[in-house]
A and B are shown apart, each in its own frame.
Chain A
Amino acid sequence: MEIVQHKNDIWGQEVLLGVSWDLLWLVVVASFAVIIVHLLVMALRKRAEQPATEGTRLNRHAKSDRIFHWVMAISTLVLLFTGILPIIGVKFGWLTIHWISGIVLTASVLFHIVRALFWQDPLSMWVAPKDLREPFDSSQKPGKYSLAQKGMHLAMTLVVLVVIGSGLVMLSLIDTPFWTRGAWLGEGALGWVFVLHGLSTLALIALSALHIYFGVRPEKLFYTRSMIKGWISEPELEAHHDPARWMPDKIV
């Protein structure tokens, strides 16, 4: 199985086309394998009692952050479906939907970066040495975000920035209502942009699959609820977080 695909043109020159889409099936199978293994492990484990959802409600996500999250989620899913379906043979006019979703994703990520840097605590998402003890010490509870959440955010950040960067280069090379296509990039460099876009897309598929899976796991469902409604209960805070490291405001 090859990682990238080439084509020999009529003069025998090798042209780099992009990532080999055989990898798509590898990523899909690997993602499902991880999910199935996790399902089996969790099924064998004794199920912990879930903390009560009653009691004082504590603010976990502001409305603007929730809106950002779901706009980003929807645009990412639209990008994945419009990008991948034509590759597996579903034919439709995908390109306009794809690049508009890409613009929406880019705008929402820019909003998030500005908000996180100037109105929030960006360090709350960075992995600190103390966080690394979490997987090995059950008494070690996280602050607002667990090590797994920080790891997912870090990976998503890297992958989304690559997919946006390469996507914007590709967008500049097609006609839109706002500009006519440029021809500023050589064929070889363009091939590498397609490779980056393809690899980051494959990573995004895997990360999205895992993110959605963990988002709907029974013991994590309260996080998904907090991303919809904004709050977690006080018992949930005490069960899953260290109030000394993160004490959210009460919702009155």
Chain B
Amino acid sequence: MSAHDVMPDIELYQPITVEDAVALAERHGENGWLLAGGQDTYGWLKDRAKHTSAMIDLNAIDALKGIRELAGGIEIGALTSLTEIQNNSSVVAKFGLLAEAVAHVASPQIRNMGTLGGNLVQDTRCWYYRRGLSCYRAGGNTCYANTPEGMNREHAIFGASRCVAVTPSDTAPALVALEAQMVIVGPDGERIVAAEDFFVGPNVDIRSMTTLETGEVLTAVRIPGKWATSEYYFEKVADRNVWDFALVSVAAVMKLNGGNITDARFACGGVACVPQRLPAVERAVIGKPRNDETGLAAGAIASNGAVTLNYNHFKVPLIENLVRRAVRG
């Protein structure tokens, strides 16, 4: 199978209000496709691995763009480009973790086009799935990655349930750590979902990576002020520093008092279908000094419960070391 040079024939809709976008998404149902930056979309469609008859281009909706100050926190429109977030002084000053995570997404060109919403709801990069095989996630009855011959170096070590795909998003672990809230608008109105609950594993829904239902649009991400200006750490390990998806990433925020950690949240990318919270690590570091000794102890428990596949054992020491470095600072 090879990528095609041209897009398939699709009806294009360009709403200018969220209400119109929701109405279109509801009208077209499963046949509708929401387009943001297109960095996930065009691969699917040009590979002919997924099809749509109605493209709903959200880019003309100004209400979905921009960064707004909230009481103590900020609200980022879902269509705000990753470059704008990376360079926004308020984000950099208050939520350096997010700015750092955004800066690690793909490449400058992709960050110019890619949006925060698109980065959050993008589909997994499991190559069996992306290549159009009838795996569980594609509606089939099996997983091709989790077989004796399966190439599963990039796949999950936590939370696998039949499907072993991982979240490809760099911003998702940061937003989970920052206790962000997702603003979703659908035919029944607006609902707010905690970032941690926005992402769903295959045990709950093997066909979707988020709680977004057909007809719903992610309109904004709100980050409360709780973790503003806190200590943070972000590190992403990928095969190449530019363009590649994370093999493992760690996003952490910590509050310190007199050198001791008083509160902390850790989330990892690339190890599960959802950003993997590490509550045991958080419990272990609270009340301890932020140093290598604490980091070593925390890293040792970061991999508790990991179940490796044939080719991804390396993720266990990787997550342990990343957590150690995050705690050590």
Binding site for B on A (CB under 8 A): 7, 9-11, 15, 17-18, 86, 91-96, 173-175, 181, 183, 187, 190-191, 194
Contact = CB atoms under 8 A, between A and B. Distances in A.
Contact of A187 (B141, B146, B162): B141
B132 interface: yes
B34 to A, nearest CB: 20
Contact of B147 (A18, A91, A183): A183
23 contacts: A7-B134, A7-B140, A10-B1, A10-B48, A10-B49, A11-B1, A17-B134, A17-B140, A17-B141, A18-B141, A86-B205, A91-B205, A92-B204, A93-B161, A93-B201, A173-B142, A174-B161, A175-B162, A175-B307, A183-B142, A183-B148, A187-B141, A194-B141
Interface of B: 1, 47-49, 131-134, 138-143, 146-148, 160-162, 200-201, 203-205, 307
Contacts of A10: 1, 47-49, 131-133
Contacts of A183: 142, 147-148
Contact of A17 (B49, B139, B143): B139
A225 B104 CA distance: 67
Contacts of B133: 9-10
A122 to B, nearest CB: 36
B142 A7 contact: no
Q: Which of A18, A93, A173, A191 gathers the greatest number of chain B CB atoms within 10 Å? A: A93
A194 B140 CA distance: 10
A183 B148 CA distance: 8
Nearest to A11: B1
B203 A93 contact: yes
A95 B1 contact: no
Given A10-B48, A91-B204, A91-B205, A187 B134 contact: yes
A196 B227 CA distance: 53
A186 to B, nearest CB: 9
Nearest to B48: A10
Contacts of B141: 17-18, 187, 190-191, 194
Given A15-B134, A183-B148, A95 B203 contact: yes
Contacts of B161: 93, 95, 174
B51 to A, nearest CB: 11
Given A95-B161, A173-B142, A187-B142, A9 B204 contact: no
B47 to A, nearest CB: 8
A91 B200 contact: yes
